[in-house]
Amino acid sequence: MMMQRRLLLVIAAAGLALAGCATSPTHEQHPPIVFVHGNGDTAALWQTTVWRFESNGWPRERLHAIDLPYPLARDDDGKAQPGRTSTADHMAFLKSEVDKVLQATGARQVVLVGNSRGGNAIRNYIYNGGGAARVSHAVLGGTPNHGVWATKGFREANEFSGTGPFLTGLNAPKNAAGDEVTGPVKWLTLRSDNNDKFAQPDGLWIGAKGTPTNVTFDGPALKGATNVVLPRVDHRETSYSPAAFEATYRFITGKNPQTLAIQPEAPIVLNGKIAGLGLTPTDPASGNYSNNLPLPGAQLMVYATDPATGARIGNAVHTKTVGTDGLWGPFTAQAGVSYEFAIQATGYATTHIYRSPFPRSSKFVNFRADRLAEADKAAKSSVTLNRPRGYFDAQRDRMMFDGKAALPGVPPEGAGVSASKLNLTQEGMRPIAAEFNGEKITGQTWPVSGNHVVVLELTY
């Protein structure tokens, strides 16, 4: 176990220690918070976290989530790679976003909250990009601060190498005590006890089962920070779960949140961005790189659906051809109503995304148009159950997909898979349902022969 200056805490016992870490702001002085997503992800993953801050009185205009245009890290941080960003690129983008937020709010400092790779950018910005004077608190959820692997001579040019120059530079002692972080910024790390796929002693989740990673469960902890353990959460839940919100809120304010529940509001106004895959949507050689670039010309149609069958109820309630900003809204949703979001774009399959009802407004309802994978083209219908804000854990979660508790592609133990795909062999359209820990979504199957793909996307 890594030596730490402050006591390592489990979440059940964190209250008193965290309450002393920061002073509580008045209602008028809620600091702006900038949320930084992880590798390959989007600002949309912070949706429920933002809702919880809003439900506790945080002004909406002081909650900002960034969208890194190319969110995937390079294989070699020092070498240009199409569709990828370096640590320097990531830091520069974060710096520009922080500057925008400070200018818009008139605040002197921001709070930075990052998941996984987002924490790398936060640390780099604070120590190497001039961010120390602009940041009051830094919260790192599941950030692989000591690497996903730490093996001499193995992929050390990658930013996730614990023995590589990027992380060893960030982890260099900051004082005589050997702390890896120092003030004036206040630091919090959030980690899982043993269920983070990127903080494992075995290389299973990096394709090297049986090979030691030389990284332990406490790899995300930092000497000199307040380090909190959240039992059984997975890699993404170190940031996006109710427990992560509770610890973050307490660290920033010095007090417990009034509620962990997401409070409903009316009217419910939704907006977000439609992005695609690859470098250009019509170039098959560009690969399926995740990106957060707008997809101009994409058409979105929104339909209210029957929650029991997934069938459309009447005509589209909202349609838009997106422009250069990629925004598909605003759209005023009805409370308690489930929706289908159908996306059409050149070079993509018609993508049918089904969502459960929205409780609150959000500008982070981002979508990606999808393509049919070669392996799916023989199916009659291809349906993916997607959990963006966490992973599926067969030992922990109550799950059902098309009437079966065993989800395709989800292992019997461990939390490392966030999507499960069913390729159906039956002709025709029919309802298809999924349930995850009480959240239920029902959609419709659509024919692969017509270049359709279906996504049941969980919110929680």
Q: Is the pLDDT of residue 242 over 70?
A: yes
Query: Can you name the CATH fold of 268-457?
Result: Immunoglobulin-like (2.60.40)
pLDDT surpassing 90 at residue 238: yes
Q: What is the pLDDT of residue 29?
A: 72
DSSP string, 401-445: ETTBSSPTT--SSSS-B-EEEEEE---S--EEEEEETTEEEEEE-
pLDDT given for residue 367 in this prediction: 97
Q: pTM value?
A: 0.93
In this predicted structure, the answer to whether residue 293 has a pLDDT above a threshold of 70 is yes
What does the alpha-carbon distance between residue 329 and residue 342 come to, in Å, rounded to a whole number?
13
User: Is the pLDDT assigned to residue 10 strictly greater than 80?
Assistant: no
pLDDT tens readout for residues 368-400:
999 999 999 999 999 999 999 999 999 999 999
Amino acid at 396: R
User: What percentage of the chain's residues is helix, strand, coil (to nearest 5)?
Assistant: 20, 25, 50
- Residue spans of the domains in the chain: they are 9-253, 268-457
Q: Tell me what percent of the residues of the chain surpass a pLDDT of 90.
A: 91
Which among 166, 178, 156 has a CA at the least distance from the CA of 2? 178
pLDDT of residue 24: 40
CATH architecture of 9-253: 3-Layer(aba) Sandwich (3.40)
For residue 248, pLDDT beyond 70: yes
Q: For residue range 296-327, list pLDDT tens digits in order.
A: 999 999 999 999 999 999 999 999 999 999 99
Enter the tokens of residue 164: 């590589």
CA proximity to 223, closest of 175, 180, 267, 167:
180
For the segment 76-88, the average pLDDT, to the nearest whole number, is 97
Chain mean position to CA 13: 26
Give, in degrees to the nearest 5, the angle at Cα 440 between 244 and 311: 140
Contact 433, 442 (CB under 8 A): yes
Question: Which pLDDT score is estimated for 282?
Answer: 44
